[in-house]
A and B are shown apart, each in its own frame.
Chain A
Amino acid sequence: MDESYPLIRITDLGFSYPDGRRVLDGLSLVFEPGLKAGLTGANGTGKTTLFHLIMGLLRPTSGRLEIFGRPRTREEDFREVRAGIGFVFQDADDQLFCPTVADDVAFGPLNLGLGRDEAHARVHEALDLLGLGAYEHRITYQLSGGEKKLVSLATVLSMKPRLLLLDEPTAGLDEPASERLVQVLNDLGLPLFIISHDRDFLKKTVTHLFRLEAGRIR
């Protein structure tokens, strides 16, 4: 795969919410291939908003968004983005909606048009990668917080993403669950972009820090 271009190139991006609140203002950022980066900043500075803009869940008010070497503006552009970037939401209850773990992990691959056998293979592959082999038939809403977080990760890994976006992955996790997540992310070796207030966690997972302040990267 040719990854000589940056995974994400953001130029002079601006975003205001419909109520007029300006969150991002002239934000520029280059995310090089293979980068593992953290995104920090005070509450309400627009970190999650930035991730939503990258995934095409929100549209910028101004500026330019280039992902995988191509400008992205319309919904169709973002379908390809979503297939290539795995976004793990802060609250696993937002992400996991199927009754069993297998159904949830297969959701993405089936949406990508994979056949049932291939989807099954992806489910096993993703669960094994995270050491969740025995969880296939577990009921998602009965899992513990740490288990839900790992299963959320599995639901995007099964789509074979080229980059992972994680929104506050350690929120609500205890020490061992958090350690396990560090281990898993380091073993995967995928490029990472992580929103977190957990300095210790970031130190163990990323090599670069972006700091969001007053609507742009400092």
Chain B
Amino acid sequence: MHLEEFARGPSLLHRLDPRVKIPAALALSMVTAVADRWVVLAAALILSVGLTLGARLPFSRVAARLLAVNLFLAAIWLFLPFSTPGRPLAALGPFTATWEGAGLALAVTLKSNAIVLGVLALLATSPVFSLVHGLRHLRVPDKLVHLFFFTFRYFQVIHEEYLRLRLAMRVRCFVPKTDRRTYRALAWLVGMLLVRSYDRSIRVHQAMRCRGYDGRLWILHHFELENRDLWFLAASGCMILVLAGLEWTNLIL
């Protein structure tokens, strides 16, 4: 498993300072999340697709991530059109889909895809530790930054532990089936992972204290803002303002 598969690359977005990319991603996500007008949603999606193309991310890997998101959204399409009151669109046996419900589902789909693509292009193009440093420079509370960072760092270790346990089950001829014994074995596996993760967190904290840790993380590397970062900040600020302007005025239908 490689969580930082997009972090290194040749594009301008890869070289930008995380301190400008983080606020840009946050603003883009927020505007897109609260927007109601179709023109804003469409513009946000176009912008995100443009950023993704600009970041020159490998198409198949991006598609795989979008597939995961849209599988979730499929569930929304299954229920939302039928559960929202409004003008009837189509009937399926005793259930009636409505225009309002379909519109809502479409809006959620556009928003989700736009935000995921935007975040992929803006944040996944930095190594996690640069993001962590960026967050600290942006004065995000230490506790949140630590949570984010340790989740990332130990995800890998816990995943490896999970694979080891699965392997240990397999070499003893465990074949998952749809029966109570399988569920119980899998529940034990999850429980064991939780216990082990807890134990490990204690050992990591002890190891940190042995090296003089007292709750504050110091930064070894510092960033330099360059011209291209300032240009990007200005350009993304303008784009966000345009989106917000479209949402809160009645320009263009």
Contacts and interface: CB of A to CB of B under 8 A. Distances in A.
16 contacts: A55-B206, A79-B214, A82-B209, A93-B200, A94-B200, A94-B207, A95-B204, A98-B129, A103-B129, A107-B208, A107-B211, A110-B218, A111-B211, A111-B213, A141-B157, A159-B211
B203 interface: yes
Contacts of A89: 203, 206-207
B212 interface: yes
Nearest to B132: A99
Closest 8 pairs (CB-CB, A-B): A111-B212, A110-B218, A108-B211, A99-B129, A94-B203, A106-B220, A87-B210, A95-B207
Contacts of B127: 99
A83 interface: yes
Given A94-B200, A94-B204, A107-B211, A99 B220 contact: no
A110 to B, nearest CB: 4
A99 B153 contact: yes
A111 B218 CA distance: 7
Interface of B: 127-129, 150, 153-154, 156-157, 200, 203-204, 206-214, 218, 220-222
Contacts of A120: 220
Nearest to A95: B207
A127 B62 CA distance: 38
Interface residues of A, number: 32
Contact of A97 (B128, B208, B220): B208
B126 to A, nearest CB: 12
Given A79-B214, A82-B210, 5 more contacts: A57-B210, A94-B200, A97-B150, A99-B127, A111-B212
Contacts of A110: 218, 220
A107 B211 CA distance: 7
Interface string A107-121: 110111000100110
Contacts of B128: 99
A82 B206 contact: no
A100 B203 contact: no
B151 to A, nearest CB: 12
Interface in A186-200: none
A100 B211 contact: no
A98 B221 CA distance: 13
B210 A111 contact: no
Contact of B220 (A52, A87, A93, A103): A103
A91 interface: yes
A155 interface: yes
A217 B223 CA distance: 53
A159 B212 contact: yes
Nearest to A114: B218
